[in-house]
Amino acid sequence: MNDAIKLAKLQNEMKNPTTSLVLGFLIPGAGQMYAGSVVFGIINFILILVLAITIVASPIAFILYALSMYWGYKGTIVFNNEVIRKAESQGS
């Protein structure tokens, strides 16, 4: 029973990488904010917004937008790995 409680707590702390992708698709930088990189997500949001407004830099904004979704996804995986590492170190 104790292991089931620990597993439930661990799963509750972890974040869903798919949610990060969806958030990043809807709002640039939101996936990174969800993964825990709030400042980096806000910077990406502002940068993508400014670049998208300028017609010349629009392709750069699209590339940064795609990278932002990827970084949010990978950041969520790194966050989950860190949660697992902490749980394993506390259990030992």
pLDDT at 5 over 90: no
For residue 14, what are the contacts with CB-CB under 8 A and spacing of at least 6?
79, 80, 83, 84
Question: What is the structure's pLDDT at 45?
Answer: 93
Question: What is the structure's pLDDT at 29?
Answer: 92
**More confident site: 6 or 70:** 70
Indicate the burial class of 12 (C-beta count within 10 angstroms; 0-12, 13-18, 19 or more). exposed
Average pLDDT over residues 6-11: 70
pLDDT digits 0-9 by tens, 45-91: 999 988 888 877 778 888 999 999 999 999 999 998 988 888 888 86
Q: Give CA–CA dist 87/85, Å, rounded.
A: 5
- What distances in angstroms separate CA 59 from CA 30, 66, 76, one per listed residue? 20, 11, 26
Average pLDDT over residues 6-26: 84
Question: What is the structure's pLDDT at 92?
Answer: 54
